[in-house]
Amino acid sequence: MKINVIVFAAVKEVLGRERLEIDLHAPATVADLRQALLQKHPNITDLMDHCVISVDQEYSDDSTVLKEGCEVGVIPPVSGG
């Protein structure tokens, strides 16, 4: 299944784009997505250690199950305010 991934800040800078598509075998979790993302883009490994993942604009953890067409955000440490 296709998962839409949006990346931000330093991760976006390293990858040179904001949106990616990752193909995963269902059923898949956030942990599977992390693994697939790092296999495809090993250059973000260090940054990913500090990132949390959102699913459909809500914070998630590694066990969160992904659904076809969901929107995953790769969230580096936030620094608003």
Q: List interacting residues with another protein (CB under 8 A).
A: 6, 8-10, 13, 54, 57-59, 73, 75-81
Whose Cβ is closer to another protein: residue 21's or residue 25's?
Answer: 21
Minimum Å gap between C-beta 14 and another protein is: 11
Q: How far, in Å, CA of 60 to CA of 20, rounded?
A: 19
Minimum Å gap between C-beta 74 and another protein is: 10
Minimum Å gap between C-beta 72 and another protein is: 11
Residue partners of 2: CB distance under 8 A and separation at least 6: 21, 22, 23, 68, 69
Whose Cβ is closer to another protein: residue 10's or residue 36's?
Answer: 10
Which of the 8 DSSP states describes residue 44?
A: G
**Assigned token pair, 43:** 């250059």
